[in-house]
Amino acid sequence: MNICIFGASGRELDEVYYEEAECLGALIAQRGDALVFGGGREGLMGAAARGAHENGGRIIGIVPRFFDEPGIIYEHCDELIFTETMRERKQLMEERSSACVVLPGGIGTFEEFFEMLTLKQLGRSDRAIALLNTNGYYAPMLHMLEETARGRFMSRACLELYEPVDTPEQALDYIARYVPQKGSIRRLEDYNK
């Protein structure tokens, strides 16, 4: 299985975030899956790629051409695909994977998570989405989503379209047992009444 990861590209995060990302990459490789990521050398994406590489995993990097500068792209990708835009990059990451794990990240990671969640809500995707809540990072966002559902701005059923997890092992266990649930675009409406 190809597992896509989204996550921070920052170089100055607390060490626990890099350790968990590297552990995730290692576990993906050890389970015989491939890592699909944004191709970056730094941040949590780079840490996950290093973990996969050190454990003999297959790594597919998808990166916009304007990132092609010294020190930006992870050097051990088994397959490196260049795109012209960030939008095309995200689309290919989705197309080349069967599930995704969202690591802690900034606005780019938020955007990627919410697009995947929106596509799943609309029935355009049925992939597993694991939200890796390392160090409680996503607690405020999870609270916001609860409040969004409580206020009926979205269906409560949307809260079941992703799985918050605390460890890389839990993320991959969730993906392994996940059963897709296709349905009509209206399948979530009843929960809002």
Give the mean pLDDT per block of 10 residues along the chain (193 residues). Answer: 96 95 98 96 96 98 92 94 95 95 97 95 92 98 97 93 97 96 58 45
Q: How far apart are CA 65 and CA 58, in angstroms?
A: 21
Tell me phi and psi for residue 81, to 5 degrees: -115, 125
pLDDT number for residue 134? 97
Q: Rounded to an integer, what distance in angstroms lies between the CA atom of residue 164 and that of residue 139?
A: 9
Distance separating alpha carbons of residues 141 and 186, to the nearest angstrom: 25
- The residues facing 81 across adjacent strands are 62
How far the first Cα of the chain sits from its last, in Å, is 37
pLDDT of residue 189: 59
Q: Note the pTM of the prediction, 2 decimals.
A: 0.91
* pLDDT at position 191: 46
Give the model's pLDDT for residue 188: 59
